Structure 1
């Protein structure tokens, strides 16, 4: 399973939405009413558990959660 597929699975569970059509350009923060502060917290926890990364408080900003692609890029950087 690709990281995009894994992320979409996480988002589907968190947001209770069909994310099968989500790609890297899919907007999240500000575009989906379901993607609220609680969803962000859930996503951070799921990212850390699923991808084995540590999300630093200093990295948390709106840009990180703006699109599926921005989240994937962060996962890639944090996995190095």
Structure 2
């Protein structure tokens, strides 16, 4: 999450986790949304780096974090089904 401070990163993490929660039709709490969003930011940032997708700022970080969080929840869903 380049271009944002620590407070913005926390807000982006909560929002990304919440959006991913709604998209994947899950029900988590605030803390879980934060964790999912922050891990999603790491996953999304890693994938964006692999495909050479430059992003910076609040909105771009939120989009990348949300996509990473959705991917994380999808992978966790696949693992839990087994």
The TM-score, its normalising length taken from structure 1, stands at 0.37
Larger Rg: 2
The TM-score, its normalising length taken from structure 2, stands at 0.36
Larger helix percent: 2
